[in-house]
Amino acid sequence: MKKFSLLCTALATMLVTTVFAQNTTNKWYIGVGAHATDHTSVRGVFDGFFDTSDYSIVPPLSKITVARSLAKHFAIDLQASIGEIDNKRLKIKDEFFILAGLGLRWTPFSENSWFDPYLRVGANYHNYSYDNIKIDEDNPYQPYNKDYKEEKHQLRGKFSGKNDNFVANGGVGINFWFTKNFGLNIESQYNWAPSYSNDYADFFQHSAALVFRFGAKKEEVLPPPPVEEPVVTDRDGDGIPDDEDKCPDTIGLPQFQGCPDTDGDGIPDADDTCPNEAGPAEFQGCPDTDGDGIPDVNDGCPTVKGPKENNGCPWETKDVTHKLKNIIFEFNSSKLTAESLPLVAEAAKMLKDESFAGKKFYVDGHTDKVGSVAVNKRISKQRAQSVVNELIKEGIEKDRLIARGFGKSELLCKDSDINKAKDEDGNILYPNQNACNKENRRVVILDQSGSKVSITEEVLIKK
């Protein structure tokens, strides 16, 4: 067996080398695998055909196929099979076997299909030692396989075997292409020895192989004939010929056809609104220092972010309520302290602004939680009225102001907020009860339109 395996390997190497050398414009195909023979099923495909225990199986590298396509659906092939084969019908064991010949294939599908079935017919040389096998009435048939029923397969005439035979075969096969050039082949064929009047030299052959196919050989492209190179001039010396240089007298870059990009922002100077300052393409090469989406050349405040509606400058806000935040009343009274009167005057000045023209306001007083509900509501109303009276003194029309008192019904700070509530920066807002009470004691000016807005914005364009 060792010598036999070496012979198989040598034959496979020789055929693979041959196929690689013949990579022409036609498609080539090679398959390398194993095969098995079945001599016991020749009198009925379904009588033991699938009984693999009657197969005589030869290991890998025992069958090789080389094929070449002739047309879209046809191919011609050369197959060779060798091995030590048992013939379980004629009581032959481990006899050397050769089957080699040409075949013609027909496939219904194109070569690009992964599922590639075909029909095959072929003519072969077959070498197997039938020389000592004689069957006649004096030499009754005694099967090697004990399960092979002699009474079912009656003797058909005489048989006197010889070693060398001509065999015709036909069968079916399928290629499963895993990739364009690599796949798996399964094939089954019936082999008929026409020189005998009976079927004792006939057999089925089944095989499985890995298959490879090879594409067309690429045609070599001849180099073009040499061309005389014209005289090249480059006046600015930037390495770009003048006939390709859009700026032939100024040193430039190849990606801009020889034109410069002074600020190096990837935009040539000819298309750059700000050629000496690097900037993105969306702003035609001009920078946007504050990143507000407005280029510096159009930004009234290039270093401070601001909306486009205000030319890139931030809004300036007027908060009337904020002006009243620090007003103080005398103890247990609704009278404003002297230092609070300028704060009310500033609030009145803001209400006179044209942005508040025609608007009416609520002046709402609030207290902390100390004291009864009735007392707090009364004093919050009185304090709100004191602010109204001062606003009227400062020139605000009386019919634009209504004083209201809410007492301690709308606390901004509750006990649960003390030493817990924080601002946006994480700072404690109310570290103690006094700070909490001070937050609740307040006078607020609100718009009577119902929008509850106490902040008015105006545009201030900074040059």
The letter for the amino acid at 387 is: V
Judging by beta carbons within 10 Å of its beta carbon (0-12, 13-18, 19+), is residue 226 exposed, middle or buried?
exposed
Collapse the DSSP code of 396 into the 3-class scheme (helix H, G, I; strand E, B; otherwise coil) and give the result: coil
Structure token pair of residue 9 = 């390997």
Same-domain status, 183 and 250: no
Residue 131: inside a domain, yes or no? yes
Same-domain status, 300 and 339: no
Please state whether beta strands 203-214 and 182-192 pair in parallel, antiparallel, or not at all (unpaired): antiparallel
Q: Which domain covers residue 270, as residue numbers?
A: 261-309
Predicted pLDDT at 7? 39
Residue 226: inside a domain, yes or no? no
Same-domain status, 298 and 365: no
pLDDT digits (tens, 9 = 90+) for 47-66: 677 778 778 899 888 999 99
What angle is formed at CA 229 by the lines to CA 225 and CA 230, rounded to 5 degrees?
A: 145
Predicted pLDDT at 148? 55
Provide the residue count of the chain: 463
Which among 69-73, 164-168, 255-259, 328-332 has the top mean pLDDT? 164-168
User: Looking at the 3D structure of the chain, how many domains does it have?
Assistant: 4
Predicted pLDDT at 300? 82
* In contact, 447 and 361? CB cutoff 8 Å: yes
Same-domain status, 144 and 241: no
Residue 348 banded pLDDT, cuts 50, 70, 90 = confident
Same-domain status, 240 and 369: no
Percent of the chain with pLDDT over 70: 82
Predicted pLDDT at 349? 85
Tell which of 158, 181, 214 closes a domain. 214
Identify the CATH number of the domain in which residue 336 sits. Answer: 3.30.1330.60
Average pLDDT of every residue of the chain: 80
Q: Each residue of 39-59: b (16+ CB within 10 Å) or e?
A: bbbbeeeeebbeeeebbbebe
Rounded CA separation 114/359 (Å): 83
Residue 95: inside a domain, yes or no? yes
Residue 333: inside a domain, yes or no? yes
Residue 56: inside a domain, yes or no? yes
Residue 222: inside a domain, yes or no? no
pLDDT digits (tens, 9 = 90+) for 375-384: 889 998 999 8
Residue whose entry in the numeric block shows the structure tokens 């030590």: 84
Residue 242 has pLDDT above 80, yes or no: no
Rounded CA separation 42/38 (Å): 8
Same-domain status, 331 and 452: yes
Identify the CATH number of the domain in which residue 51 sits. Answer: 2.40.160.20
* In contact, 343 and 391? CB cutoff 8 Å: no
Rounded CA separation 275/268 (Å): 8
Residue 281 banded pLDDT, cuts 50, 70, 90 = confident
pLDDT digits (tens, 9 = 90+) for 284-317: 888 888 888 888 888 888 888 888 877 888 776 6
pLDDT digits (tens, 9 = 90+) for 84-107: 998 877 778 888 999 999 999 999
Structure token pair of residue 352 = 């006179």
The reported pTM is: 0.43
Residue 434 banded pLDDT, cuts 50, 70, 90 = confident
Rounded CA separation 40/59 (Å): 20
| CA-wise closest residue to 303 among 317, 315, 276, 294 | 294
* In contact, 285 and 274? CB cutoff 8 Å: yes
Same-domain status, 111 and 78: yes
Residue 285: inside a domain, yes or no? yes
pLDDT digits (tens, 9 = 90+) for 186-200: 999 999 999 888 888
Same-domain status, 77 and 180: yes
**More reliable by pLDDT, 365 or 243:** 365
* In contact, 100 and 117? CB cutoff 8 Å: no
Residue 251: inside a domain, yes or no? yes
Predicted pLDDT at 210? 92
Same-domain status, 113 and 196: yes
Collapse the DSSP code of 139 into the 3-class scheme (helix H, G, I; strand E, B; otherwise coil) and give the result: strand
Same-domain status, 63 and 167: yes
Same-domain status, 128 and 237: no
Same-domain status, 238 and 177: no
| CA-wise closest residue to 324 among 341, 307, 302 | 341
